[in-house]
Structure 1
Amino acid sequence: MGVPTAVAPVSPNLETPRPATKRRRWYDGAAAHVVLIALLVVALYPIAYMFGTSLKSPQEILNNLNIWPEEFTPGNYAEGWSGIPGITFGRFFLNSTVVAVGVVIGNVVSCALAAFAFARLRFPLRGVWFALMIGTLLLPHHVLIVPQYVLFNSLEWINTPLPLIVPKFLATDAFFVFLMVQFMRGIPRTLDEAAEIDGCGPYRRFFHVVLPLTKPALVTTAVFSFIQTWNDFFSQLVFLNDLESYTVPIGLRLFLDSSGQNAVAPMFAMSVLSLVPVFLFFLFFQRLIVDGINTSGIKG
């Protein structure tokens, strides 16, 4: 006969969760969703109001504070695109595109090279130079405008995109350099050692080993550079004085200067169109942006 097996008593800790606990968890989840939806509504309300206002007549903008117009006026887009006499708003879009693309290329190339030097190479006073580079973040942009204007004026670059594009090829944005440095520090150094064994120098290690693994940080730099440049008003107003060289932010200001209150509706219409490139650029690279920010923050 077999020896009878004793049955272990059931521990009271293995009981199913109480209904009150389930309800509390459900309440917590519902409250979190309500808060997130409320924040989403607050964030999207200005965009919805701007879009609705772009379809209102000038008289309705003053009298109707609701989001959606009582009578749609799609002609505001055609009137706004016609711009001012002799120059359409498409010219401003073209100028902003040239400046934004140039800034994106300059920041991605120069900041990647500078970050590789700080993160993967050894040279004298590397820590000091890195600290000085980070210290430039403390300098207000307005402090540098006057000496920059004097320099660019002596080079005869005023009223051209060069003052806005050329400095970006010198890794002048310390934030993006720091972002890439943090990302590159998380790449295993064994890859560099293996590349050195195969006879790769610093340039080949950068282009064939480090750069392909830095794609999320590169995309993050590109998107933030594009958004920052596309929405920039102060620098472009200082360096661009010719009407034909104006960009979208300065072009939007012309609606108030030229026609006064009657041009508010076309200004809202062009404001809606000015958001489209930024929205598409961000939407296309959204996943890589999140990966780049998260990885740069936890590695180092």
Structure 2
Amino acid sequence: MTEPLRRLAKHVVLVLTGFLMLYPLLWMIASSVKPNALIFRDPSLIPGELDLSNYTIGWNALAHPFTHYLLNSFAVVGGAVLGNLVSCSFAAYAFARLNFRGRRIWFAIMLMSIMLPIHVVIVPQYVLFAQLDWINTYLPLVVPKMLATDAFFIFLMVQFFRGIPRELTEAANIDGAGHGRIFFRIMLPLSMPALATTAIFTFIWTWNDFFSQLIFLTDPDMYTVPVALRTFVDSTADSSWGALFADSVVSLIPIFVIFLFGQKYLMRGIATTGLK
């Protein structure tokens, strides 16, 4: 096979694979504008009949307008992103630049915590938060992020900090700068790709987190988007799939916007941290 034919075959395979991966999403978007009777009867991606009322029905199908649940999710996501950026950057700087007793042991323990599934720690977390009277609040979803519990982001920032030349921090230290000034004036401005990667991943993972939010939020007024969508299915059964898909499409818009505008920082952060 000649080189042009090989390239053509490779692109055809990539296009077909990409279409197979995107088909469920495209089908959901198409189903959100179909009448309920045609959603499962007509699997095509081009609706034969449009029904835009699914969006208005889905928006007002629950106890509150869908805006209420979007704002709840933004509140949780905002706290989680801010908490991870602050706490994980502090912890990463300590592991990357400070010399303290047991640093390697604590770093190894931190890395091993990545392998712990959430189902292992959810029960003791629930007991602890129940004793603190935090159940049915956003505190269990936000406060742990402020304590550097996401080891993946600590490791990502440690790799990035280690790639910053030590001569910069040593020169600042000679000029009388302490760790606080070095961290805020040198390390953070040079670490924007890693910080952006942390913010984007935290946003996406927290926005899509269904399990934790279902466990800790019991009041319908506190529901976030994933829990609200599940409640929507329970309350409407099989009668309004179009409205459910319409709300699902709306819930994907913030993720799409964040990824669209942060894609270059995301790729740069993953590439640079992976080369250290």
Shorter-chain TM-score range: over 0.9
Q: Find the counterpart in structure 2 of residue 286 from structure 1.
A: 263
Q: Distance in 2 between matches of 1:167 and 1:83?
A: 33
Q: Please name the residue that 1:112 is paired with.
A: 89
Q: Which residue number corresponds to residue 269 of structure 1?
A: 246
The one-letter amino acid of 1:46's match is P
Q: Within the alignment, does 1:151 sit opposite 2:128 as a pair?
A: yes
Unaligned segments of structure 1, at least 5 residues: 1-22
Partner in structure 1 of residue 10 of structure 2: 32
Instruction: Please tell me whether residue 67 in structure 1 is matched to residue 45 in structure 2.
Output: yes
Alpha-carbon spacing, 1:45–1:182, altered in 2? closer, same or farther (3 Å):
same
SS at 1:261 equivalent: coil
Q: Which residue of 2 aligns with 1:80?
A: 58
Deviation at 1:81, TM superposition (A): 0.5
Paired residues of 2:27 and 2:43 also in contact (CA < 8 A)? no
Q: Does 1:100 align with 2:77?
A: yes
The match for 1:232 among 209, 219, 226 is: 209
Q: Map of 1:1-300 to 2, 5 A cutoff?
A: 24-84=2-62, 86-299=63-276
Q: TM-score normalized by structure 2?
A: 0.98
Separation (CA, whole Å) in 2 of partners of 1:100 and 1:124: 35
How far the C-alpha of 1:263 sits from its partner, in A, is: 2.0
RMSD between aligned residues: 1.0
Is this contact kept in 2: 1:255–1:264, CA < 8 A? Answer: no
Question: How many angstroms apart in 1 are the aligned matches of 2:14 and 2:164?
Answer: 35
Q: Which runs of 5+ in 2 are unaligned?
A: none
The alignment-based identity, stated in percent, is: 53
Alpha-carbon contact 1:51-1:268 (below 8 Å) kept: yes
Shift, 1:43, TM fit: 2.0
Q: TM-score, normalised by structure 1?
A: 0.90
Contact 1:53 1:68 (8 Å CA) reproduced: no
Deviation at 1:62, TM superposition (A): 2.8
Q: Computing the radius of gyration over CA atoms, which structure comes out larger, 1 or 2?
A: 1
CA distance in structure 2 between the partners assigned to 1:249 and 1:193 by the alignment: 47
Alpha carbons 2:194, 2:270 under 8 Å: kept: yes
Q: What one-letter code is carried by the residue in structure 2 that aligns with 1:95?
A: N
Secondary structure of 1:232's counterpart equals: coil
Question: What amino acid does structure 1 have at the position aligned with 2:273?
Answer: S
What's the offset of the Cα at 1:33?
1.4
- Preserved contact between residue 80 and residue 269 of structure 1 (Cα < 8 Å): yes
Runs (4+) of structure 1 exceeding 4 A deviation are none
Shift of 1:177: 0.3
Q: Report the Cα distance in structure 1 between the residues aligned to 2:136 and 2:13, rounded to whole angstroms.
A: 48
Distance 1:65 1:170 in 2: 47
